[in-house]
Amino acid sequence: MPEKDHERLATELGSAVSLLMRQMRIASPHGELTPSQRAVISRIDTEGEATIAALARAERVRPQSMRLTVGALEERGVLARSPHPTDGRQVVFSLTEEGRRMLAVVRQAKHNWLAVAIADRLTPEEQRTLATATELMRRLMPR
């Protein structure tokens, strides 16, 4: 059972990370993308082409919901479909050049916002503390 101090720290850290992520999403010039759409674009960029079923499992949503998300991205020219390499009954989705460009713009805007906020709002000593905290947060991740 965690101690009260650990529980409080976990709650505060989770809240701070959520607020930071929300602000980074707001800083993105493609605010019209939903969080689900952003997650799909990022996942396909990282893991490669995928079926609707695989994306739904990975994002823990129903295939019907993923179909709507992917359909909206395909309609915008961000994703393209092609035949599955081994199963003719399925299709896979991959990023288009427009999708790659959009993802790069979104990521750059987030990073720019965060870099400016760090430079403008934190002292050099606080920046060093943040660097240490960042490393500690990485150590919390499973390996």
Other C-beta atoms closer than 10 Å to the C-beta of 29 total: 12
Cα(60)–Cα(4) distance, rounded to whole angstroms?
Answer: 31
Per-residue HEC secondary structure of 19-78 comes to HHHHHHHHHCCCCCCCHHHHHHHHHHHHHCCECHHHHHHHHCCCHHHHHHHHHHHHHCCC
What pTM value is reported for the model? 0.74
Give the pLDDT confidence of 59-115 residue by residue, as tens digits: 999 999 999 999 999 999 999 999 998 988 899 999 999 999 988 888 898 899 999
Q: Quick one: CA dihedral 93, 98, 100, 106, positive or negative? A: negative
3-state secondary structure of 18: helix
Give the pLDDT confidence of 13-37 residue by residue, as tens digits: 999 999 998 898 888 776 678 889 9
Give the pLDDT confidence of 115-132 residue by residue, as tens digits: 999 999 999 999 999 999
Alpha-carbon separation of residue 23 from 18, 103, 131 (angstroms)? 9, 17, 19
The structure tokens listed for 47 are 């893991």
